[in-house]
Structure 1
């Protein structure tokens, strides 16, 4: 599957990415992680703190799949509102999951502090605004639920939004617990730190076949075989068929990065911005003063004109911020996964013992990867995590 098309921005920010060898001999390990993107490198770094013989393999290079097309918005709010999750799973599970997302951002912050190189990680604030009057009431209900269950948030009416931003909206939820990151740099730095701590990392190493038996898990590569006690598939959207994840939907999303902006006018605290419409637009600023805006999600099988989509995103940006004069420097499209219930698929395969998946489908993929790494770490070490039933495959 071709995960992205076009001219990606994040790889242009790294002039000399680290490289790792290809596997050239047969090896044994306790845990094999397949996939060297954000999910795989977070998982590797979490396991590196424990006495676990861990191997990570990537069929191409670290961070060059979906990670390099990720926009790097880190939010505890989800594609599915808290009120919707309460309706589906009940108050206890829904609130607990939202708390896990909130904790995951703090965990990402913690691991970022361990890294030796820059990742452009920054704690950020976020505006979630009602796209129209019809959705304003539901947004207000969402704010009430957040406050009721202990989340810190402010409600902005249309006058407050107009005073802080260059655009108008009926209302919005403003939160201050979010973050932003260069996902490509972050994944590379996580790999470097995991390697330093003893995780064996191999690039340009593709699994050609696998065999799951009572004696272990066996994987064939071009120049060496791997025997593992447990395996974690962190290969993202290419794993859907094998993982048997009901309710997963693959689409295509579009993003542009502008040329650097001289001054951010009418954009309060350079906050993250997203909206209630589905599909929704999402915006952020970068360290070098560019604007990333994405959205226009559409069917994966549909033919798309990337240039046309880019111009539509630029038009949306100029509509929101008429005092800015942005121009497109990078434009790309990427495969994007979502689920019917808005939650990721993280856990053990229902048919294969010791075969785990970390599929952070949704607009909160990096946050899902962090909480997923904690869930899978506990499943591997202790056989249990309180959220294992919420994110399980086959639900």
Structure 2
């Protein structure tokens, strides 16, 4: 059962980012009678959109359910840095699970960004999608030695990237840090436009959009169902829970927790302010900040995360966090214009091992879920769509266990 008090749009984000609505897509409509389908997806954010596109491409009768307009919750709070690098460095993930498993997870993440890039091109989606390098900067206790070791470990795993020392980093990119790892294979996008474009494609293939609140789920062995607040029921072969960072009570996991993050978008910058690429930039410290550019010439800068989920407390800190982000932006890019055009915050789910929770809900064989993306939201959303698509078809692969909801706690 979803608690209506925990699913308000305002609980997921505050403020507005620089993202724009995508191409026209059908508006969700209330359900007027009980219905049936192959797959019912609860949540019409980016994960639900990727699922709807993929499942309809498989020829499945798909229903997409959300109580809000598509893409206005967690998706609108995303900074859409589509990185294959995971919050937990490869060396730390290898310490938890062994090198071979950790390396495979990193390669799967890299493959997800590549797969998303191909999909956007094939569907010709207008979402400001651009391939990007990443610049992983030394920060805090992570200095040149640690970054060199990380780069060598990534090379052993078959991952791209280059260790860059201070002089070369300053000369090539303008960042006055001790060292960095510069890697190809990531990307950026407008997350709302991407979400809307995917939903429009799914709708053209026959996906039905339902505007209602899911209040109950059944994932029994022979079938599944979603109960709606309007009094009707959607029966399905499978139900997929993709409700962003609001995890319903039926999904229980000790690895998962909700935190809060803040972001700003500057006014358009003058020519010559941006670093070459322009690449996605993030710091190697645990309390890291990150930045990217937009097609409109803005700098998006985020971070200052806190380990609480209270939306009122998060909103109350908005001005303080905006000033803190501006201070850190000025320290990193002294030439940047610091006028703020957009400031926003949002909830995000994270796990102890930095990996998402994707797969079957324990005890409910027809109920599937995708949560806990951390800083790799859209990358792991794409991965979730492929993993869940395989499960719906009855296909299992060995790597699915890396992200299982009931996987063992690390350590």
Q: State the TM bucket, normalised to the shorter chain.
A: over 0.9
Give the TM-score taking structure 2 as reference length. Answer: 0.91
| Aligned partners of 2:221 and 2:364 also within 8 Å | no
The equivalent position to 1:356 in structure 2, one of 368, 371, 374, is 368
Matched, 1:209 2:221: no
CA distance in structure 1 between the partners assigned to 2:406 and 2:42 by the alignment:
21
| Structure 1: unaligned runs, 5 residues or longer | none
Is 2:257 the counterpart of 1:249? Answer: yes
| 1:159-198 correspondence to structure 2 within 5 Å | 159-198=167-206
**Contact conserved, 1:261 with 1:326, CA < 8 A, in 2?**
no
* Aligned counterparts of 2:278 and 2:151: Cα–Cα separation in 1: 21
Map of 1:146 onto structure 2 = 154
Equivalence for 2:276: 268
- Is the contact made by 2:220 and 2:365 (CA closer than 8 Å) also made in structure 1? no
Q: Secondary structure at the match of 1:309?
A: helix
Query: C-alpha distance in 2, partners of 1:324/1:6?
Result: 22
Match of 2:337 among 314, 320, 325: 325
For the structure 1 residues 240 and 225, does the alpha-carbon distance in structure 2 shift closer, same or farther, using more than 3 Å as the test?
closer
Residues 141-198 of structure 1: CA deviation (Å, up to 9, x unaligned): 1100111121111111011111123331111000111100000000000000011122
Instruction: Quote the residue 1:345 is aligned against.
Output: 357
Partner of 1:341: helix, strand, or coil?
coil
- Give the gaps of 5 or more residues in structure 2: 1-5
Please name the residue that 1:9 is paired with.
Answer: 18
**Offset at 1:326?**
2.5
**In 2, Cα distance between equivalents of 1:47 and 1:263:** 43
Instruction: Go from structure 1 to structure 2 and tell me whether the alpha carbon gap of 1:366 and 1:165 turns closer, same or farther (over 3 Å shift).
Output: same
Task: Report whether the alignment pairs 1:92 with 2:105.
Answer: no
Structure 1 residue aligned with 2:403: 391
Residues 215-224 or 318-327, more deviating: 215-224
What is the aligned partner in structure 2 of residue 236 from structure 1?
Answer: 244
SS in 2 for 1:48: helix
Q: Which residue of 2 aligns with 1:58?
A: 66
For the residues of structure 1 that align with 2:75 and 2:330, how far apart are their CA atoms? Answer: 27
* Superposed displacement of residue 96, structure 1: 1.1
- Between stretches 13-22 and 217-226, larger displacement belongs to 13-22
Greater CA drift, 286-295 or 145-154: 145-154
- Give the RMSD, CA atoms, in angstroms: 1.8
- Contact 2:132-2:280 at 8 Å conserved across structures: yes
Q: How many residues align?
A: 393
**C-alpha separation in 2, matches of 1:241 and 1:293:** 33
2:387 to 350, 362, 375: 375
